[in-house]
Structure 1
Amino acid sequence: MLHKKTLLCASGALALWFGAVNVAKADVVTSIKPLGFIASAIADGVTDTQVLLPDGASEHDYALRPSDVKRIQDADLVVWVGPEMEAFMQKPVARRAEQNRLALSQLSEVKPLLMKGDHDHDHDHGSDDHHAEKRDGDHHHGENNLHIWLSPEIARLSAVAIHKKLVELMPEKRDELDANLQRFEANLARTDKQVANELSPVKGKGYYVFHDAYGYFEKHYGLTPLGHFTVNPEIQPGAQRLHQIRTQLVEHKAECVFAEPQFRPAVIEAVARGTRVRMGTLDPLGTAVQLGKESYMQFLTGLAGQYTACLKGD
């Protein structure tokens, strides 16, 4: 009889122990890879970070698979920009409790830093572009540019918010999470200075980007874009818009035109053909970077290198 009671007590203790382990394991799921860079730095050594969108997919038009919905349901913390950016996530995220979700664009500290979308100021499209431009604008997630992960300042605020959520979920891990946040902020401050120094020689050099994604990065580091080919990467710019860009390239107002890894439209090559403008590639999602405690720093330095390689003519 005593032996049976001992077994019951032991099995009960094991159940409690496994239950505690499950409570402590708070998987973080982010919508896109750059948010995963920030989250994985804060969660390093504490819990896993996963990214919903596979490399090569666009945050603009992704369709969730049943397995993605399950990952959102099972995650202890879902981190995304917000419903205006990742509309495809709105319904499954809305089913999660407030403590298990974090929309970075809706943080009170981030809202004052949001930039207006450039499409609000693009009045140089011809009438033949009106329909495409309207679809462009409708696509651009309301009035703001929500590519907020390209702002080092907003990245730091995002890290603070992720840290706060994880401490609430895993109070027993506060010391590790505190240390991770402190390391992230110190590394970000150092990397920010390095990137600013690297980009300083190319300030004032004009260029075109393929799509309207880089405003935060460009503003933060004082770069001087001439414009973008499109707001929505899925919609080709109209003929009059291309003629305007071509004219500026011929007049040598631009040093470079930048494509993106997931969007390599022939239209860029066609417009640049016969000019002296150089072609480069910018990767706003960091597809070549692996998640880890230094990944956001690698993302920033990688993007800076992509700018300078083309603008310097290296």
Structure 2
Amino acid sequence: MIKKLYILVVVFILSFAVLAGCSTSSKEVLVKDKVNVVTSFYPLYDFARKIGGDHVNVINLVPTGIEPHHWTPKSLDIRLASDSELFFYQGAGFEGWVDDFLKSLRSDAKVKPFKVSEGVNLIPISGDHDHEDHGKDEANHHEGEWDPHLWLSPINAKKMAENIKNALIQVDAVHQADYEANYDQLAAQFDELHAEFTNEITKLPRKEIVVSHQAFGYLCHEYGLEQLAIMGVSAEAEPSAQDMKQINAFIREHQVKYIFFEDLVSDKLAKTLARDANVQTLVLHTLEGLTDEQMKNGEDYFSLMRKNLGNLLQALQ
């Protein structure tokens, strides 16, 4: 009996440890005398750290190695955000949990939520065109109708970073000069990255790519590419037999040599299709999150976007 009780206690302790590790907020802490910032996913975390510098403590809610589409906040995450100064989320339908999350913040919470996609021209999920009249169009459409992967255009990412800078200044005007200087440096990096994509992709003989899910609408729109997705925007919608037939036809028609998959999503379907179509696979990072290895190696938005460019150049020669 004692032995059985001991085993149960050990199992309980191990289970609790595993569950505790499933939430970023269980490992992260607020820092006194700094602006505490909570972000909803990786690009916002990366930009906030670079703009905030030594004046901010940035905590990303989604742990490394976790695909954000499959993540939902826990009570500890709500508590952490409630006690922070800023909560950055993208909006445009990316964080399906955010409305309930904001309603769950403590009534006395000092945190200021900011939707970082404000002012960015959104593309409908169909990907036909972008809307110049952003505010009016978004007001007349449900957020689920928009492609939420805004940050994969360096131009959009630059605007999102500007919104982050402005929010930091609102809550910490004392360090405005530092935030402005850090943002200017970051903006120059976005401009340089945009120029690299423009210069390199315009030289390519082909412009058609096959991707695992419909995440690259803004990247394609910016640089004249065309994507055909195996799965939908959510990375969860399985393709039908008719879809697979059309994808194979597209591959043959456009002489596609590679199918792109992501590092946080299973590559099984992409590799199966590639094998059937007698083509190869390459990674195209969505930057929705980083793996543990990428974090350890010091990868960031710019290094992974340049890897994307290199893989696009390889695939489209």
TM-score using structure 1 length: 0.76
Q: Which residue of 2 aligns with 1:124?
A: none
> Can you list the C-alpha shifts for 1:76-102, whole angstroms capped at 9, x where unaligned?
111111272212232232437797111
Runs of 4+ with deviation above 4 angstroms: 96-99, 288-291
Which residue of the other structure, out of 273, 287, 290, is the alignment partner of 1:287? Answer: 290
Cα shift at 1:268: 2.1
Q: How does 1:245-256 map to 2 (within 5 A)?
A: 245-251=247-253, 253-256=255-258
Task: For residue 277 of structure 2, give the secondary structure of its aligned residue in structure 1.
Answer: coil
> Can you list the C-alpha shifts for 1:224-281, whole angstroms capped at 9, x where unaligned?
32x1011132232111111111233244542321111122242222222253422111
> Can you list the C-alpha shifts for 1:6-30, whole angstroms capped at 9, x where unaligned?
xxxxxxxxxxxxxxx94x5111111
> Can you list the C-alpha shifts for 1:168-197, whole angstroms capped at 9, x where unaligned?
111111111111111111222122212322
Q: Which residue of 2 aligns with 1:151?
A: 153
Kindly indicate whether the alpha-carbon contact (under 8 Å) linking 1:258 and 1:281 is maintained by their aligned counterparts in 2: yes
Which residue of the other structure, out of 123, 127, 142, is the alignment partner of 1:115? Answer: 123
Q: Which structure 1 residue ranges, 5 or more long, are not aligned? A: 1-20, 122-139
Say if 1:272 and 1:92 are closer, same or farther in 2 by CA, change over 3 A: closer
Aligned counterparts of 2:68 and 2:50: Cα–Cα separation in 1: 22
Q: How does 1:49-198 map to 2 (within 5 A)?
A: 49-82=58-91, 84-94=93-103, 95=105, 100-105=112-117, 107=118, 109-110=119-120, 113-118=121-126, 142-198=144-200
User: Structure 1 residues 230-239 or 280-289, which shifts more?
Assistant: 280-289
Count of paired positions:
268
Which residue of the other structure, out of 261, 264, 269, is the alignment partner of 1:267? Answer: 269
Cα shift at 1:114: 0.2
Give % identity. Answer: 27
Task: For residue 204 of structure 1, give the secondary structure of its aligned residue in structure 2.
Answer: coil
> Can you list the C-alpha shifts for 1:93-130, whole angstroms capped at 9, x where unaligned?
2437797111123x2x22xx100102899xxxxxxxxx
Q: Which amino acid aligns with 1:118?
A: S
Q: Which residue of 1 aligns with 2:223?
A: 221
Q: Which structure 2 residue ranges, 5 or more long, are not aligned? A: 1-30, 130-141
Kindly indicate whether the alpha-carbon contact (under 8 Å) linking 1:28 and 1:76 is maintained by their aligned counterparts in 2: yes
Kindly indicate whether the alpha-carbon contact (under 8 Å) linking 2:122 and 2:150 is maintained by their aligned counterparts in 1: yes
Task: For residue 235 of structure 1, give the secondary structure of its aligned residue in structure 2.
Answer: coil
User: Structure 1 residues 208-217 or 228-237, which shifts more?
Assistant: 228-237
Aligned counterparts of 2:127 and 2:280: Cα–Cα separation in 1: 25
Cα shift at 1:69: 2.0
Which residue of the other structure, out of 44, 47, 51, is the alignment partner of 1:38? Answer: 47
Aligned counterparts of 1:119 and 1:237: Cα–Cα separation in 2: 18
Say if 1:306 and 1:71 are closer, same or farther in 2 by CA, change over 3 A: farther
Higher relative contact order (CA 8 A, sep 6+): 1
Q: Which residue of 1 aligns with 2:37?
A: 28
Aligned counterparts of 1:221 and 1:67: Cα–Cα separation in 2: 41
Q: Considering only CA atoms, is the larger Rg found in Structure 1 or Structure 2?
A: 1
Cα shift at 1:67: 2.4
TM-score using structure 2 length: 0.75
Aligned counterparts of 1:168 and 1:146: Cα–Cα separation in 2: 26
